[in-house]
Amino acid sequence: MGLKRVVVSGLGALTPIGNDIKSYWNGLKSGVSGADKITYFDTTKFKTQFACELKGYDPMNFFDRKEARRLDRFSQYAIVSSDEAIKDSGLNIKNIDNTRIGVIWGSGIGGLKTFQEEVTNFVNGDGTPRYNPFFIPKMIPDIAAGVISIRHGFKGPNFATVSACASSANALIDGVNYIRLGYADAIVSGGSEAGIIKSGIGGFNAVQALSKRNDDPKTASRPFDLDRDGFVLGEGGGCVILEEMDHALNRGAKIYAEVVGIGLSSDAYHMTAPHPDGEGAISVMHNCIKDSGLTYKDVDVVNMHGTSTPLGDKAEAKALGHVFKDHLYSMNINSTKSMTGHLLGAAGAVEVISCILSINNNIVPPTINHFNKDPEIDSNINFTFNKSQSRDVRVAMSNTFGFGGHNACVMIKEFSIK
């Protein structure tokens, strides 16, 4: 039995540059920065005092007060983005077999704010263990997949993927495999993260991961720039409805694109640093291209992991040269983290969505905030610096790498029934 084909039939996004798909895409193609001073807490004593927060997000627009209190923000973001994608797809348990619709969701950290608050309350109390009965259900990373399935009545495969910043890319890859193998007709897949809290900023500061450009937050995320000094923390969620092609066609679904390739690898090198020669990145891109049945010359765009860290950007750019050879100079490369910041476990999903929208609109969003060339990064590569570019986009690839050496890669292609 051959593998089944997997298409994308719905999209949803909640990001620092747009609270739905339309506004997210407008922000991307316009080169908007989502970075600004943190408003959630007093950052006076923190080395980094800015992040890419959501703008104008009010949980009361989506939940009643009781429900909102029972959900950590990462679960709220999961529900908001998946609600949009499910509505967009037209999936409805009244006209489908709900036992064959699954939810696979990624989050690198889960309910960190809930954990911080409960532990803080205990430490500041009299030693009596008075914990919120929703402490554990709010915190665990798998709860997002659970509440989405409960909300919509989807009874197929249901679980979470956790691989740091590769979490939602891994969720998409698992979703693709479940459909390819015939275990599900559709998977609601994506990721969400809500790490802009004291322990999130403080923890990433401690490992020297964040930019400290407090005097100019909007230009702090500078992938591939000589003066990059770390990533900018973001938050939000992204959802992709993955569906078996014939199932989507039979119900008259709108099809955005086809997922044709997936790749996985491990650096097996360091807890937080990438392999300096990009070995894991090279391997995961090769694996994805091989799985797709295409060649490296078919790829038009690569949305890089491109976090704006000194080591990571250089290693990934080096890996590109190994994989794409001379074709690299005919491609567009970009890093949308320059605009959204780094959404950690949600990054893979929101960046795959960017690839899908590029294919649908033949526009490549820019890598903003480029000012000075890094002599250690090939200056002949078209990184789509500072301004979006129009081009025919038939095939796009998204790279996502996580602490621990987890590498995931997804290939998206313009849909054709042949």
CA 264 to CA 285: how far, in whole Å? 8
The DSSP H or E segment spanning 33 is none
The DSSP H or E segment spanning 318 is helix 310-324
CA 236 to CA 218: how far, in whole Å? 18
Sign of the Cα pseudo-torsion (214, 389, 360, 175, in order) = negative
CA 400 to CA 280: how far, in whole Å? 11
CA 124 to CA 283: how far, in whole Å? 48
Instruction: Please name which of 32, 358, 40 lies closest in space to residue 201, comparing C-alpha atoms.
Output: 40
Active-site residue flag, 322: no
Active-site residue flag, 239: no
Alpha helix (H) residue ranges in 125-238: 135-139, 143-152, 167-180, 198-206
Instruction: Please name which of 87, 241, 69, 74 lies closest in space to residue 142, comparing C-alpha atoms.
Output: 74
CA 15 to CA 84: how far, in whole Å? 13
CA 389 to CA 362: how far, in whole Å? 9
Strand ranges, E, within 18-156: 36-37, 50-51, 101-106
Instruction: Please name which of 43, 46, 25 lies closest in space to residue 88, comparing C-alpha atoms.
Output: 25
CA 358 to CA 35: how far, in whole Å? 23
Locate 306 and state its tokens: 């491109």
Active-site residue flag, 275: no
Q: Which of 152, 247, 275, 342 is catalytic?
A: 342
Q: Which of 52, 165, 355, 409 is catalytic?
A: 165
Q: Which of 152, 247, 275, 305 is catalytic?
A: 305
Q: What SS3 class is residue 260?
A: strand
Helices 198-206 and 112-124 pack at an angle, to 10 degrees, of 100
Q: Which of the residues are catalytic?
A: 165, 305, 342
